[in-house]
A and B are shown apart, each in its own frame.
Chain A
Amino acid sequence: MKKTVILGALTVAGLAAGAASAGTLDDVKARGKLNCGVSTGLTGFSAPDANGVWQGFDVAVCRAVAAAVLGDPMAVDFVPTTGQTRFTALASGEIDLLARNTTWTFSRDVDLKFEFVGVNYYDGQGFMVPKELGVSSAKELDGATVCIQTGTTTELNLADFFRVNNISYEPVPIETNAEAQQQYLAGACDVYTTDASGLAATRASFEAPGDHVILPEIISKEPLGPLVRHGDNEWGDIARWTLNALIAAEEYGVTSANIAELSAAPGNNPEINRLLGTEGELGAMLGLEADWAKKAIMANGNYGEVFEKTIGENTPIGLSRGLNAQWTEGGLLYSPPFR
């Protein structure tokens, strides 16, 4: 308790003068902890390790924001949320930021009064089938039994896809991903459909992953991103630009290995200088310290490093970058300029 108070006091003392802002930012600083909503468990995105420390791709966003605001990536209280409780938790102020593989949709953004601060993972719904079925396209799945999680957008997408292609299917409703794995392996359904990242993680956990194929069709757009409450734009800006800083850092080649060197003195790339606070006043504009982005990047590395560590090709999940590559490499990641 004392420690966090001192930490909070230090952070407040270290602020640039006149950077007064109201609302969430002040609350977080006063508390000395960021309350971050995550999934109760989604492979690669958020899960506690054996020591109870939360790890994952979504968790990394929380840690980066905490590092940017409080200077300490570990100053996060993770609030596990389920699909039902996540939005209420955010709306009621129980959490400051929700980073829980939440699809950015119109109604969530507008009607539920949230603000998506960006996209940290472009996902889409896919299909997995046993290889021995000999199916190479989702359009050949006429009459198939499909394992599907109930009450999700996946269910609606599936119905749309089969209707558009004028083929029929038989749904096998399941509750959790773990149950789906058991049902699918036991042969209760021919096809398992969920987000492609989830399919990859599920397939990786099988005894013989090679016996199963993920079909090429991606039937929906699932841009997953962190979100905050409507109406506190300063806080929204901090979350948005922390995510952008991670993405931009990868674009400019700022990694956790060279960041100490790059931030020691202004270099010859003005964009990097502004990002890392060796030049310009970007931190003060956000109400943060000048080296906010440096701390955010040092928390877990830049976007590419986080990706590689948590869900990338060297992990058991083995996702390729695909749509989540930088725009310079044919992906969709595109951070607005830091100036």
Chain B
Amino acid sequence: MSEVHAQTVAYVRDTMLDQREPPLSQSGAYKWIHENLLSSWVNVVLTVASLWVIWAVLSHVVPWAALGIWSADSLAQCREIRDQIYGADASVACWAVIGERWNQLLFGFYPTELYWRPILAFVLFLVAIAPVLFASLPRKMLWFTLAAPFVLFWLIWGGAIWTPIVVALGFVIGWAVVTFAGPAIGALGGVVLAIVAPLLYWLLVAGPLADALATVLPIGLEPVKSNEIGGFMLATIIGVSGIILSLPLGIVLALGRQSDLFLINKCSVIFIEVIRGVPLIVWLFTASLLLNYFLPPGTNFDLMLRVIIMVTLFSSAYIAEVVRGGLAALPKGQYEAADALGLDYWKSMRLIILPQALKISIPGIVNTFIGLFKDTTLVVFIGLLDPIGLSNAIRASTQWNGIYWELFVFIGLCFFVFCFSMGRYSLFLEKKLRREHR
């Protein structure tokens, strides 16, 4: 057929043309720019205006940051050096303040020779959290995750090794009660005993036992007090403790709010609404000021611990509402299917409802966590020296009085690293879970 055609119609080409590159206007950067930036006169104007704004910002910020002075003892010396190199009118950053004080911004007043402890604690924290975040890691690592809170506490605050061990023993007791005594005395009695027994142990036995062990075998690290902890270390400790503690609490509250049991339901609702209805700063003031009046005089209840508790309660109320959104989004059929399978309440929640509800809630939960982490800067108002508080303290020294943006830029960058990684992880998790669902 084709041969006939080729012979009869002379002007029909009988061979294929070689493939060619698309014309310049339809490919590559040119096409992209044409379509995205210059497609109409409105877009042309907008593009030019945007370019001008970007240029105006960068032309100031980039030389300011890049030419910054790194070695000086004070702001005055920074200015002298600048006058020598760039002339008096130049606007350059004085990064020397970061160079001199970065360890203070990171660790607060933690003893310099002990910096290895928080650094090691941070590395161990990453190791401990990894199996929780990434399912592909060996499950045996979770044993270390269970031990990590006690190891990290001991590394950061120091003291006798027996204190965290003795406290951890309380959880072992609770677990032992549930496993061994639970079947004998029934589920409800088992749960009650599992709560009461460790509490009694902590209140009555733990203190003397830890002291006794410490006198027999004095193994320990040099103790560091809470008021020596500051900067990003403080923000991270408060943020991470709040995040880790508030997730389970928030889930329990969300389930409580959905519960049919009148008392549990109303308690959860009241807790969530009260905590959520009052600004965090008020709770922080309550932790720092009001509790002082309520507690018996002479009670030494660590301010940092009080703040961690308040931050945890605050964010758990938000988490509860986020998780409740996830629970409400599940079709009723899922609940009924769980019932039809004959699962009891906890099993149906654990195996069917919560995995789906939490998956839906991931963006909201991570959003709350990022907010919580940034909200830790509010502790500056109750006199804790977090990065912002330290920036004020640094500015109060005669050498660095008058310095402003450099400190905020540094602090902002550090916070960005933390929050951005949290956001990325959330995206990763969503992608992974969605793929599995298909």
Contact = CB atoms under 8 A, between A and B. Distances in A.
Nearest to A45: B396
B405 to A, nearest CB: 9
Interface in B63-101: 74-76, 79, 100-101
A316 B77 CA distance: 12
A287 interface: no
Contacts of A204: 398, 401
B115 to A, nearest CB: 12
Contact of A182 (B74, B228, B401, B404): B404
A84 B297 contact: no
A52 B104 CA distance: 7
B109 A48 contact: yes
A92 interface: yes
A91 B288 CA distance: 13
By CB atoms of chain A within 10 A, which of B76, B289, B293, B399 has the most? B289
A77 interface: yes
Contacts of A315: 398
Contact of B75 (A79, A201, A205): A205
B383 A85 contact: yes
A43 B397 contact: yes
Given A40-B393, A81-B383, A92-B292, A205 B401 contact: yes
Contacts of B404: 178, 181-182
A49 B101 CA distance: 9
A88 B383 CA distance: 12
Determine chain B's interface SS by DSSP, over half rule: helix
Given A81-B383, A93-B298, A49 B397 contact: yes
Interface residues of B, number: 39
A317 interface: yes
A82 B381 CA distance: 7
B288 A85 contact: yes
A1 interface: yes
Nearest to A205: B402
A77 to B, nearest CB: 7
Contacts of A201: 398, 401
Interface in A30-65: 39-52, 55
B232 to A, nearest CB: 15
A45 B289 CA distance: 24
Interface string B296-324: 01100000000000000000000000000
B205 to A, nearest CB: 23
B107 to A, nearest CB: 9
B60 interface: no
B392 interface: yes
Interface in B32-88: 74-76, 79
Given A85-B289, A204-B401, A1 B223 contact: yes
B347 interface: no
Nearest to A53: B109
B398 A316 contact: yes
B255 interface: no
A41 B381 contact: no
A151 to B, nearest CB: 12
A176 interface: yes
B288 A47 contact: no
B392 A41 contact: yes
Interface string B311-355: 000000000000000000000000000000000000000000000
Categorize the interface residue count of chain A: 35 or more
A206 interface: yes
A43 B383 contact: no
Contact of A47 (B381, B384, B397, B402): B397
A132 interface: no
B225 A77 contact: yes
Given A41-B392, A93-B298, A316 B401 contact: yes
Interface in B377-427: 380-385, 389, 392-399, 401-402, 404
B285 interface: yes
Nearest to A311: B398
Given A1-B223, A207-B79, A80 B393 contact: yes
A261 interface: no
B401 A93 contact: no
A315 B76 CA distance: 12
A203 to B, nearest CB: 10
Nearest to B159: A1
A129 B293 CA distance: 44
Contacts of B289: 84-85, 88
A176 B228 CA distance: 24
Contacts of B298: 93
Nearest to A82: B383
B382 A82 contact: yes
A77 B227 contact: yes
Contacts of A50: 100-101, 104
Contacts of B385: 40, 80
Contacts of B100: 50
7 A-B pairs with the lowest CB-CB distances in the bound complex, closest first: A205-B402, A41-B396, A92-B292, A47-B396, A41-B393, A52-B109, A205-B401
Given A39-B396, A41-B397, A84-B381, 15 more contacts: A41-B393, A43-B398, A47-B397, A82-B381, A82-B382, A82-B383, A85-B383, A88-B293, A89-B383, A181-B404, A182-B404, A204-B398, A205-B401, A205-B402, A316-B74
8 contacts: A44-B398, A47-B394, A48-B104, A55-B397, A80-B384, A82-B380, A202-B401, A205-B75
